[in-house]
Every structure is written in C-alpha cells, then in structure tokens.
Amino acid sequence: MKKIGVIALASLGLLLASCGDKKEAATAGQEQSVAEKQGEVLTVDTAASKVNWKAFHKGGFAPRWGTLSVSTGELSVADNQLASGEFVIDMKSIKVDPASVTEKDKKYTDLEGHLKNADFFNVEKFPTADFKITKVEDLAAGAQNAVEGANKTVSGNLTLLGKTMNVTFPAKVDIVEKSATLKAQFTVNRADWGIKFGTDETDPAEWMISKDIEIGIDVKAAQK
C-alpha cells in the first residue's frame, strides 16, 4: 500500500474551500431521468471549462487539490433559462497542484499516479466520468453551502467508476446572448461511488483519510 495514498487522501473533485471550512456532503440518491433538450443547444468550451477537486484528511489536515479537464459537453437554454445539459470529464487528465504537497518527502506526481490507479479512479478501466442535468429550479432563499452568486438549484446524475448517483447543489447560472455559464461548489462522499480506499475505520492508517471530496464546476458554453 503506497504511503503517499495513506498520508495524502483520496479523490476527485472541484472549488477550493479553506481547510477549516469543510462543507456538509451533498446527499446522493438514485439515478433520475435526464432533462430534455429545449431551445438553443450550446457547445461547451472545453478550453475554458474545468472541474476543480479538493480532498483532505479528517479535520482538514494535509489538504490536496487539483483539476480535471472537460472533454465534451453541451447546455441547452430555453426562454433565457438553463433547461438541460451534460458534460464529460477526462479522468486521465487528473492533476495535483504541486503547491498542495508541501512535505519534503512527498511528490505530487506520486499522488497523481495513485489517484489514477485502482485504489481510487482506475482511469484505465474508467477513463471518463460524466454529469447529466436532471432538474433546474430557482434557488430557495437561505440556501446553505451555496457558491457565491448562486441563483439556481441543479440536480444531476454523476457517473463515476461506472456508478450513477443523483446529486443536488446550489449553482450560479448566467445566461447571456448565445452563451451560458454554470458554476457550482459542493461536497460528495466518495464511498457512495464505491471509492473505499482509506475508509476502513478499524485500521488507524486508513481512518484518517476523509471520505469527502469538494468539487467545483466551472462550465462555459456558447453557440458554435
């Protein structure tokens, strides 16, 4: 078992929160019907879009963070509102920010390799993940754990390691002529998707790794 995996953490994900300000994990439920395309279909700008992730030990100790690339996607807009959308994440693109690995005896490249293997995302077997919107609603007043400027509640099917779960989170959706932007920040429990490395609480070497992954979505789409 690689030491870097035990002392470094575990996962995907997306915008950075402070070490002491961990968000409550979003509830993951059963897969739902995907929202139908309506109105104008916009193509995701993969160069301008990304997914951020952050993971850490329990208590916020030794956080690690990085990015993932979006390989394809689209958003549909009807009556100046986000109606549907989906995008594919290139799991082989997972990067660890070198600034997050400050210990002299550790290398960020070792963590990248560990995250790609079967302990975590098994990218050779599952080279992509995807998110498909199932519902978009106006954000209720007083919503908790919302990204700055959030105005919508978005639900969608997140498929990771071949397993699909539905998650709901506050999001900031901006619609301007011939373009749309979706930004969100939320936390998921990686064990819901079967990523269980480091979750055996009977093993002191493993229980220190948090199950939570902070995910930040920043997706931009425009008319081609």
Is 203 among the domain residues?
yes
Residue-wise pLDDT for 89-107, tens only, equals 999 999 999 999 888 888 9
221 pLDDT band (50/70/90 cuts)? very high
Tell me which residue range forms the domain holding 208. 25-220
The residue with greater pLDDT, 207 or 137, is: 137
What is the rounded CA–CA span in Å between residue 65 and residue 120?
A: 15
Nearest Cα neighbor of 13 from 60, 67, 61 is 67
Is 29 among the domain residues?
yes
CA separation (Å) from 210 to 151, 161, 169, 205? 29, 19, 20, 12
Residue 4, pLDDT > 80, answer no
Is 41 among the domain residues?
yes
List, in order, residues 6 or more apart from 132 with CB less than 8 Å away: 34, 85, 86, 156, 157, 159
Is 9 among the domain residues?
no
When pLDDT is averaged across residues 150-160 and rounded to a whole number, the result is: 97
> Residue 10: its pLDDT value, please?
35
Cα three-residue angle 11-13-15, rounded to 5 degrees: 135
16 pLDDT band (50/70/90 cuts)? very low
Structure token digits, residue 27: 């509830």
Domain count, the chain: 1
66 pLDDT band (50/70/90 cuts)? very high
187 pLDDT band (50/70/90 cuts)? very high
11 pLDDT band (50/70/90 cuts)? very low
Is 3 among the domain residues?
no
Structure token digits, residue 146: 């919302």
> Residue 104: its pLDDT value, please?
86
Exposed/middle/buried for residue 202 (C-beta within 10 Å: 0-12, 13-18, 19+): exposed
Is 1 among the domain residues?
no
5 pLDDT band (50/70/90 cuts)? very low
> Residue 116: its pLDDT value, please?
97
Is 143 among the domain residues?
yes
Is 17 among the domain residues?
no
Say which CATH number the domain at 72 has: 2.40.128.110
Ramachandran area for residue 99 (φ above 0: left; ψ -120 to 50: alpha; else beta): alpha
Structure token digits, residue 210: 């948090």
Nearest Cα neighbor of 65 from 13, 2, 117 is 13
Residue 12, pLDDT > 60, answer no
What is the b/e burial string over 68-80, where b = at least 16 CB atoms within 10 angstroms of the residue's CB?
bbbbebbbbbeee
The residue with greater pLDDT, 69 or 15, is: 69
What is the rounded CA–CA span in Å between residue 34 and residue 166?
A: 10
> Residue 45: its pLDDT value, please?
98
> Could you tell me the pTM of the whole model?
0.85
